[in-house]
Amino acid sequence: MKKIKRTKVKMKAPKKVFVCTECDAQSPKWYGVCPACGMWNTLVEETYSAPAPGRGGASRPSGVRSHAVPIDELAKEDCTRTVTGIMELDRVLGGGLVEGSVVLLAGEPGIGKSTLLMQLCGALGNEKKILYVSGEESRPQLKMRAQRLGTEGAKIMLLTETDLDTILNEYDRVQPEILIADSIQTIYSANAASAPGSITQVRECAGALMGRAKADGTSIIIVGHVNKEGGIAGPKVLEHMVDAVLYFEGDRTQPHRIVRAAKNRYGSTNEIGVFQMDDKGLTEVENPSAMLLLERPLNVSGSCAVCTMEGSRPIIAEIQALVTPTTFPAPRRTSNGIDYNRMCLLLAVLEKRLGLRFSACDVYLNVIGGLRIDDPGADAAVALALISSLRDIVIPPNLIAMGEIGLAGEFRTVTSAAQRVKEASRLGFTKIALPKRCINDSLTKTSDASLLSLSGIYDALMLLGDAKKTDSRSAYANAK
């Protein structure tokens, strides 16, 4: 009898590949450090799918060849902007939503991304054809939100779908002028084998949507989730692909929200939009300074008003410092809203130049209202708040200070001094301390407030009337 040869059919497991979220490099093995770019912990497991033929480079109909043209022969094409009517959003976008542009709106869960976009629909719905694709919420949920925000009257098309092909089909049928994709992490393409939200899927789906935007001149707004570190979940290339990246920031326990542009091909990245969240949705805050100073404590040490430039707009906020003696050899340092290293640098300058013993104290620093300040002009206020808390001296509520502090303890000029002084005066500050070189005749003439000149860090101490009490070892104390 003939022996039947039995062949074992082996199911082939899908091939795995490890992809770097920073540089997109692929490797068959997991490494702690990406072999291509050297970043730590950036490799994630993905299902391998062979690249589709003909990919790479911009896709175009075959037979059409593009050629280079001299720049002066190009027609002066100003980009067409749609003013959304939500002023704070327009400001961040650089004056409105540009036709054919792709905007990525990223933020933590529950911060208000869908709310902002639903309000955008309400503002533009009767003017533009909008297709709102939601992969996260059901129709009743979306309807309920629209009712709560009072935007249910807007003529927008809603699609609750996660499959890319279906979305593109509906897109072709509806032919919207604005497409909103909430969120890119929930959309998946059957062409890519990995799970929704994975690097391959996000790249594939964003690429497909963007192709449409560029071809049809549709504006696309993509919602992106953020990961634990606060970056946008998915491949780093996503940020390079889109025209603008907006971050929705804020403390969820606080009512204010800030929209900040991290990248904008059609405008400045310095502008911020300030909103306030309540049950009726987001309302624009036209006067953020007044709002941020609302709950300022009086007659308490460690609080100092700060004036920071956010793009073209001066914003006044409050900085609070708490300095307490510690028995631990390594004192605690916490900073919220001010760069941690900047705080350490200022503490070192105060310790060295004024002989103030911060090294024996825990230091907590906080900017009220969830504001994040990158402006070095805030140094003066940070230093004053720190000294005020350490010495327990109350800073007069009508005093505001601005100026960058150098390592030698010198005060350096700040940008847009005149604008800052104007805003400070408007909010009732009558004593404005600023670097010596910022004070000129025109500023003195136009300002009602008294301008106090700062040249060295010792002057900051003088402002608090604490000069006599400091350690005489201080270089500045000896020099004066």
Residues that bind Mg ion (CB under 5 A): 114
Q: Is 387 helix (H, G, I), strand (E, B) or coil?
A: helix
Could you tell me if 284 and 88 are in contact, meaning their C-beta atoms sit under 8 angstroms apart? yes
Binding span for Zn ion by CB under 5 A among 37-45, 242-250, 254-262, 339-347: 37-45
Compute the least distance from the CB of residue 25 to Zn ion, in Å: 5
| Alpha-carbon separation of residue 470 from 205, 212, 359, 364, 479 (angstroms) | 62, 66, 15, 22, 13
Binding span for ligand ATP by CB under 6 A among 56-64, 113-121, 308-316, 379-387: 113-121
277 binds ligand ATP (CB under 6 A): yes
Q: State which residue, 279 or 295, has the beta carbon closest to ligand ATP.
A: 279
DSSP 136: S
Compute the least distance from the CB of residue 200 to Zn ion, in Å: 15
Nearest-angstrom CA–CA distance, 288 and 367: 14
Nearest-angstrom CA–CA distance, 22 and 407: 34
> Which residues between 344 and 363 bind ligand ATP (CB under 6 A)?
none
Binding span for ligand ATP by CB under 6 A among 78-86, 89-97, 106-114, 226-234: 106-114
Place of tokens 């800030």: 258
Q: State which residue, 142 or 233, has the beta carbon closest to Zn ion.
A: 233
Compute the least distance from the CB of residue 134 to ligand ATP, in Å: 9
107 binds ligand ATP (CB under 6 A): yes
Q: State which residue, 32 or 140, has the beta carbon closest to Zn ion.
A: 32
Binding span for ligand ATP by CB under 6 A among 89-97, 109-117, 432-440, 441-449: 109-117
Sheet holding 333-336, edge to edge: 333-336, 361-367, 313-325, 303-310, 399-401, 431-435, 450-454
253 binds ligand ATP (CB under 6 A): no
Compute the least distance from the CB of residue 221 to Mg ion, in Å: 12
Query: Of Zn ion, ligand ATP, Mg ion, none, which one sits near residue 23, judging by CB under 5 to 8 A according to partner kind?
Result: Zn ion
> Which pair of structure tokens corresponds to residue 426?
């408007």
Nearest-angstrom CA–CA distance, 210 and 55: 15
The alpha helices in 48-103, defined as continuous H runs, are 87-93
Q: Which of 42, 84, 115, 194 binds ligand ATP (CB under 6 A)?
A: 115
Q: State which residue, 114 or 474, has the beta carbon closest to Mg ion.
A: 114
Nearest-angstrom CA–CA distance, 119 and 88: 12
CA quadruple 413, 419, 422, 428: dihedral positive or negative? Answer: negative
Nearest-angstrom CA–CA distance, 379 and 281: 35
Place of tokens 């911020």: 272
Compute the least distance from the CB of residue 104 to Zn ion, in Å: 21
Q: State which residue, 145 or 420, has the beta carbon closest to ligand ATP.
A: 145
Spatial CA neighbour of 84 closest among 96, 100, 93, 99: 96
**DSSP for 223-281, written as a single string:** EEEB-TTSSBSS-THHHHHSSEEEEEE--TTSSEEEEEEEEETTS-SS-EEEEEEETTE
Q: State which residue, 281 or 397, has the beta carbon closest to ligand ATP.
A: 281
22 binds Zn ion (CB under 5 A): yes
Q: CB neighbours of 231 closer than 8 A, spacing ≥ 6?
A: none
Q: Which of 23, 44, 193, 449 binds Zn ion (CB under 5 A)?
A: 23
Q: Which of 37, 52, 87, 195 binds Zn ion (CB under 5 A)?
A: 37
Q: State which residue, 114 or 389, has the beta carbon closest to Mg ion.
A: 114
Compute the least distance from the CB of residue 161 to ligand ATP, in Å: 16
146 binds ligand ATP (CB under 6 A): no
Compute the least distance from the CB of residue 117 to Mg ion, in Å: 8
Nearest-angstrom CA–CA distance, 403 and 378: 6
Binding region for ligand ATP (CB under 6 A): 107, 109-115, 136, 148, 277, 279
